[in-house]
Amino acid sequence: MFRPIAERKVKCMANQTNSLAHTKWVCKYHIVFTPKYRRKAIYGDLRKDIQEYIKTLCKYKG
């Protein structure tokens, strides 16, 4: 059974710093690729929009 949102502990990931032995990073993006059987849902205009958004983001971030 689901608990109301007010009772759930929500963790803000935007400002959380992660680290390993020699690196630190802040993850601000979460990209999920869909499985093969859901490809039809993102074909067409939505696919083009997503592709342009990812290209722009990659160019911006280098």
pLDDT at position 30:
74
pLDDT at position 31:
76
pLDDT of 1 over the 80 cut: no
| pLDDT tens digit sequence for 7-51 | 555 555 556 777 778 887 777 777 777 777 777 776 777 778 888
Eight-state DSSP code of residue 13: -
Q: How far is CA 58 from CA 18, 24, 28, 43, in A?
A: 21, 20, 13, 21
In the chain, domain spans: 10-61
pLDDT at position 9:
56
pTM for this one? 0.40
